[in-house]
Amino acid sequence: MEVVKTLAQALAPLCNTDEAVLADWIEVPKNTEMGDYAFPCFRLSKTMRKAPNLIAGELAQNLKVPEGFVKCEAIGGYLNFFTDKSAVAGSVLSRVLKEGDAYGSSTEGNGKTVCIEYSSINIAKPFGFHHLPSTAIGNALYRIYKALGYNTVGINHLGDWGTQFGKMITAYKLWGDKPVDDYSIRELVALYVRFHDEADKDPSLNETARAWFHKIEQGDPEALELWTKMKDATIREVKVTYKRMGVDFDSWNGEAFYQDKMQPIIDELREKGISKVDQGAEIVDLSEWNMPPCIIVKSDGSTIYATRDLAAACYRKETYNFSKLLYVVAYQQDLHFRQFFKVLELMGRDWVKDCVHVNFGMVSMEGGAFHTREGKVLYLDDVLDAAVEKTYEIICEKSPDLEDKKSAAEAVGVGAILWSVLYNNRIKDVSFSWDKVLNFDGETAPYVQYTHARSCSVLRKAGGRPEAFDASLLDDPESTALLKAIAGFPEAVRQAAEKYEPYVVSRAIMQIANAFNRFYYEQRIMADDPAVRAARLALCDATRQVLKNGLNLLGILAPERM
Ligand code: ARG
């Protein structure tokens, strides 16, 4: 932080200690009466051979108060600094209003590439509610890294390979009644279910399925065409859902893409003596690291998930030369990632240190509020639809005069769902309840969106914000708290990226929304004094801007009216 640097610079000559060390010591007191920043003198007492409180006292006397501060005071062993509130207010406001949509972004990632793999759904399978966290968290991280200036590559590592496609083709050939392109995901899933039902009665179907999968592997034109069309039909349909969630990808290279890229890996593992043959299969023994072996080639000669992941990681390094590769995948796959990361390490790929499994907990529906027959997957689209429908009812009640209720309901309903997995530490399991996610007064996206719309409405009614304003008039406690929350936003964006935790951004904007509402109720924005009114409108506009930017980083829309 720049302020800390300024303080450390001022202190360094008087303390005879390195600036960077001093910067590390500086704290932000919980109680603002103790100042905005505090410098503890305890560790100096050794080198300066004096009691900490004496050092603090001397520093207070000899230090020229740095720019941006009004005073510094010795309290006990601390030297406490008080910022110049009006200068801070002025600089925060002018920065937000000048940077606009770019407030919160930076150039720190320039020249670096981050690959982010997220969503990674399976072809011809339901796009289920359980895919929500990977999709939402991955998309938020993608947007956050992009804002920080990184070159970002969003990858949907499709599950588009495996024996199930032999089953799908068998089922289609037997029972298909229209061109395969016309199948919806639900219809494809029904075919798959029917296959299993019938194969219970007639096991020879499994043979047929194996033969069809073999044909796909061999590149048989008919098999390949059917497989491709099923894949295209799935992608076409999920793209609609992704669009609703503001999600996009730069690459749709799934497992099948690595089919011809595994042999060099298998060869290298053999040549380097990393893999060995065990009961006809090729494995990498990981017992030394207390892990079960990583299977590279099965005894029937087929490769598996892990082999494709090894090939994918190497391909991505070669193609993108990433400085980071993030895998946004559920914690159920922790072991898989530890295993294949270890294999990469054994292969001498030192860049494996830049590969991160960004794992997350489970989502479930509280109290079965959204009932499905046992074992049946909940489709994400159905959840989004239900959210939008319920939101529509709420909006009709709250804002009967709103013109475009439909698009507001879509933005808020979908936003509420995304927020449900973006507001907590990733690894926490989320139990989902409609009352919680759609509560316009709770810690929800609708609440933040509503606050954003409120700020828009204030500005609309005021006919916009005056160009000139005097920020020193924003000295009441509510304005001060709001300014402080807004000032912290860029740092929150940075931290969210560093921790791979979008919740740092969602918490930051929740804090801003709360602070704004307190300000809104305690201070009259449309004050009689035009100068005060101008300053408050500027603050209102800055709030609008930062809420919009924060929601955008999370992939959530910020409607201006709702
Ligand atoms: N398609 C997989 C699933 O639905 C997730 C893929 C995760 N990514 C990976 N590189 N293994 O379980």
Rounded mean pLDDT of the chain? Answer: 94
Predicted pLDDT at 323:
98
Answer whether residue 361 shows pLDDT above 60: yes
DSSP assignment of 455-480 equals HHHHHHHTTS--S---GGG--SHHHH
pLDDT digits (tens, 9 = 90+) for 279-292: 999 999 999 999 99
Mutation choice for ligand 1 from 115, 117, 119, 120, CB with most ligand atoms inside 8 A: 120
What's the 382 CA to ligand 1 centre distance in angstroms?
Answer: 22
Single pTM value for the model: 0.90
The reply to whether ligand 1 has any atom less than 6 angstroms from the CB of 69 is no
Tokens of 175: 């029972």
The predicted structure's pLDDT at residue 143? 98
What is the C-alpha separation between 294 and 285, in angstroms, rounded?
Answer: 7
| Tens-place pLDDT, residues 310-321 | 999 999 999 999
pLDDT digits (tens, 9 = 90+) for 468-488: 999 999 989 999 999 999 999
Q: In sequence order, what DSSP letters do the residues of 60-129 get, joined into one string?
A: HHHPPPPTTEEEEEEETTEEEEEE-HHHHHHHHHHHHHHHGGGBTB-STTTT-EEEEE----BTTS--BG
Task: Look up tokens 């708290």; give the residue.
Answer: 481
Q: What is the mean pLDDT of residues 137-166?
A: 97
CA of 191 to the centre of ligand 1 (A): 23
Chain centroid to Cα 199, Å, comes to 42
Q: Does the beta carbon of 159 sit less than 6 angstroms from any atom of ligand 1? A: yes
pLDDT at 368: 57
Is the confidence at residue 374, as pLDDT, over 60?
A: no
pLDDT band at 373 (very low <50, low <70, confident <90, very high): very low
- Do residues 191 and 211 make contact, with C-beta atoms less than 8 angstroms apart? no
Does the Cβ of 160 fall within 6 Å of ligand 1? no
Q: How far apart are CA 37 and CA 143, in angstroms?
A: 32
Q: What pLDDT sits at residue 92?
A: 93
**pLDDT at 105 (0 to 100):** 97
375 band by pLDDT with thresholds 50, 70 and 90: low
What number of CA atoms fall less than 13 Å from residue 471's CA on the CB side? Answer: 22
Please report the pLDDT score of residue 1 as a whole number.
59
- The response to whether residue 303 sits with its C-beta less than 6 Å from ligand 1 reads no
Answer yes or no: is the C-beta of 485 below 6 A from any ligand 1 atom: no
pLDDT band at 32 (very low <50, low <70, confident <90, very high): confident
* pLDDT > 90: percent of the chain: 85
How far are the Cα atoms of 156, 230, 326 from residue 250, in angstroms, in the given order?
8, 21, 14
Q: Which of 157, 261, 316, 332 to mutate to test the pocket of ligand 1 (most atoms within 8 A of CB)?
A: 157
**CA 312/CA 259 separation, integer angstroms:** 10
Q: Are 381 and 528 in contact (CB under 8 A)?
A: no
Q: 290 phi and psi, to 5 degrees?
A: 60, 35
Mean pLDDT to the nearest integer, 496-519? 98
Q: Indicate whether residue 161 lines ligand 1 (CB < 6 A).
A: no
Confidence category of residue 269, pLDDT binned at 50, 70, 90: very high
